[in-house]
Amino acid sequence: MNSRISNILNRTKGDRWIWLIVILLSMISLLAVYSSTGTLAYKRGVGAESILMKHLAMIVGGIALMYISHKLDYRYYAGISKVLMIATIPLLLYTLVFGSHVNDASRWIAIPGTGLSFQTSDLAKLALITYLARTLSRKQENIKDVKQSFIPIMGSVCVVFILIALANLSTALMLFGVSILLLIIGRISIKQIAVVCLAGAVLLAGVVFLGPRRTTYISRIHTFMHPEKVSSDKSFQSDHSKIAIATGGILGKGPGNSTERNFLPDSFSDEIYAIIVEEYGLIGGFALVGIYLFLLYRCIKIVTKAPKAFGALLAAGLSFSLTIQAFANMAVAVGLGPVTGVPLPLVSMGGTSILFTSVAFGIILSVSRDIEEPKKIIVGEITEVA
C-alpha cells in the first residue's frame, strides 16, 4: 500500500502544497455538498447519496484532468490558446442565442450525447487568460505599439467581456479585473490601461442599463444598497445567508446540522460558504479563507520563480482568477456584495465548472513543474561529479 502511494506521489510533479490544497478543498466539498443537497434530492425524488456520488465522479474526473494538464509542458498552452480563442467567441455567441435559459440568463450549452451542460464562460476564462499571457509575453519588445500589441489585446478583452456580461455580469467583471492585472504585470502603459478601463466602463454601463438582463442587475444593486427598502422576497437569499452565518457561532452547529440549507435556494452552490460557516462556525469559515490565501501565496511564489514571462503571466492570471472568484463568493455570502451566480472553486457543486477549475490548477502546476525540474538536473549533475 505504501509503495503504491509513493508511486503515485513520484508521478505527480509541481508544487506539493497546491496538490494538498486541491485534495483538502475536495474533501471539504464532499462534506458540504452532501450536507446541503437534502432538499434538492427530495425535489428530484432521489437519495442524497446519489447526488453525492455524481459530485464525487466530477471531482475524480477533475483530478484526472488536473494530472493530465500538469504533465503537459506549459509552453504548449501558448499554441492551444489561439485555438481556444477562435472557438470561444462563436461559442459565447451561440450560448446567448441558443443556450439553456435559467433564471432569465442564457449561460449553458448542452454537450451532445452526455446529458451534461457547461457554462461557456468557464472556457472563455481559460481562453482569454492563456491568450493574454501568450500575447503579452511575445509582444514585450514592442509592447507599447498600438497596432501590433494594444489593439489585439484590447479587442480580445472587450469582446469576451461584453459577450459574457450580457448573461453573467459578475463573471465578466472578475475576468475583466484579472485581465487588467495581467496588463499591469505585462508592462502595458498606464495610458493604454486607462483606455481599456474606460472602454470597459462604457460597455458595463451599456449592459447594466440597456442589456437584456438590465432589470435583474439594477434590482440586485438596489437590493444590496438599500435592503430596508425592498420586499423580503427580493432579499430572501441574502437574508437567509446572513442567518446561517449568524447562527453558526464560533464552533458551528456540527456537520449535517444546518437548518438554512432547507431555505437557501442554492445552498449547494452559490451559498455553500454560508452553510459551511453555519455547520463549522467562524473557525471553519476562517480556515477556508486561510486555505485560499495560502493558495494565492504558493501561486505568487511560482510566478516570482518562473524563468519565462509566459509561465509567470499564465500562473498569475489563473491564480488571480481562482482566488478572486473564491473571495467574491464568500463576500456575497457575508453580505459584502450583491447576489451573484459565482460558485466557490472546487467546493461548490458545479458539474463541469469543477473540470475547468481543475484544468486551471493543472496548468499552474505545469508552470511549477518547469521550475522544479531544472533544479533536479543540477543536483543530479553535482552528485555525479562528486
pLDDT for res 282 = 93
Q: Mark whether 369 and 255 lie in a shared domain.
A: yes
Per residue in 293-346, pLDDT tens? 999 999 999 999 988 889 999 999 999 999 999 999 999 988 888 888 788 999
Per residue in 161-191, pLDDT tens? 999 988 888 899 999 999 999 988 888 888 8
pLDDT-based confidence at residue 380 (cuts at 50, 70, 90): very low
Backbone angles phi, psi at 100, to 5 degrees: -70, 135
Distance in angstroms (rounded) separating the CA atoms of residues 4 and 9: 9
| Residue keyed to cell 443556450 | 99
Is pLDDT above 90 for 292? yes
Is pLDDT above 70 for 79? yes
Residue 226 located in a structural domain: no
Q: Mark whether 97 and 188 lie in a shared domain.
A: yes
User: Which grid coordinates are listed for 361?
Assistant: 490548477
| Residue keyed to cell 486551471 | 360
Residue 236 located in a structural domain: no
Q: Above pLDDT 90, what percent of the chain?
A: 39
Residue 220 located in a structural domain: no
Is pLDDT above 70 for 221? yes
Q: Mark whether 65 and 91 lie in a shared domain.
A: no
Among the three residues 212, 228, 253, which one is the final residue of a domain in this structure?
212
Q: Mark whether 207 and 337 lie in a shared domain.
A: no
Residue 159 located in a structural domain: yes
Higher pLDDT, 157 or 108: 157
Q: Mark whether 249 and 383 lie in a shared domain.
A: yes
**Mean per-residue pLDDT for 142-170?**
83
Q: Mark whether 300 and 201 lie in a shared domain.
A: no
- Boundaries of domain holding 50: 1-71+244-386
pLDDT for res 376 = 47
* Encoded amino acid at 35, one letter: S
CB atoms within 10 A of CB 144: 14
**Mean per-residue pLDDT for 130-139?**
89
Which residues are within 8 A (CB) of 145 and not within 5 positions of it... i.e. 6 or more apart?
Answer: 139
pLDDT for res 275 = 93
Backbone angles phi, psi at 20, to 5 degrees: -65, -40
pLDDT-based confidence at residue 373 (cuts at 50, 70, 90): low
Residue 201 located in a structural domain: yes
* Encoded amino acid at 60, one letter: V
Q: Mark whether 270 and 351 lie in a shared domain.
A: yes
pLDDT for res 10 = 60
Among the three residues 212, 236, 265, which one is the final residue of a domain in this structure?
212
User: Which grid coordinates are listed for 268?
Assistant: 449547494
Residue 238 located in a structural domain: no
pLDDT for res 113 = 64
**Mean per-residue pLDDT for 216-233?**
78
Q: Above pLDDT 70, what percent of the chain?
A: 88
Reduced 3-state DSSP string for the chain: CHHHHHHHHHHCCCCHHHHHHHHHHHHHHHHHHHHHCHHHHHHHCCCHHHHHHHHHHHHHHHHHHHHHHHHCCCCHHHHHHHHHHHHHHHHHHHHHHHCEEECCEEEEEEECCCCEEEEHHHHHHHHHHHHHHHHHHHCHHHCCCHHHHHHHHHHHHHHHHHHHHCCCHHHHHHHHHHHHHHHHHCCCCHHHHHHHHHHHHHHHHHHHHHCCCHHHHHHHHHHHHCHHHCCCCCCHHHHHHHHHHHHHCCCCCCCCCCCHHHCCCCCCCCCHHHHHHHHHHHHHHHHHHHHHHHHHHHHHHHHHHCCCHHHHHHHHHHHHHHHHHHHHHHHHHCCCCCCCCCCCCCCCCCCHHHHHHHHHHHHHHHHHHHHHHHHHHHHHHHHHHC
Is pLDDT above 60 for 378? no
pLDDT for res 4 = 54
Distance in angstroms (rounded) separating the CA atoms of residues 281 and 78: 43
Q: Mark whether 195 and 144 lie in a shared domain.
A: yes
Residue 96 located in a structural domain: yes
Q: What is the largest CA-CA distance in the chain?
A: 77
Per residue in 93-123, pLDDT tens? 888 887 766 655 667 777 766 666 778 888 9
Residue 304 located in a structural domain: yes
pLDDT for res 335 = 86
Q: Mark whether 200 and 312 lie in a shared domain.
A: no
Distance of CA 209 to the CA centre of its chain: 27
Residues across the chain: 386
pLDDT for res 105 = 60
Q: Mark whether 40 and 88 lie in a shared domain.
A: no
pLDDT-based confidence at residue 228 (cuts at 50, 70, 90): confident
Q: Mark whether 18 and 144 lie in a shared domain.
A: no
pLDDT-based confidence at residue 229 (cuts at 50, 70, 90): confident
Is pLDDT above 90 for 359? yes
pTM: 0.89
User: Which grid coordinates are listed for 366?
Assistant: 505545469
**Mean per-residue pLDDT for 196-224?**
86
Task: Kindly report the average pLDDT of the chain as a whole number.
Answer: 84
**Mean per-residue pLDDT for 78-82?**
89
* Number of domains comprising the chain: 2
Q: Mark whether 250 and 365 lie in a shared domain.
A: yes
Distance in angstroms (rounded) separating the CA atoms of residues 184 and 211: 29
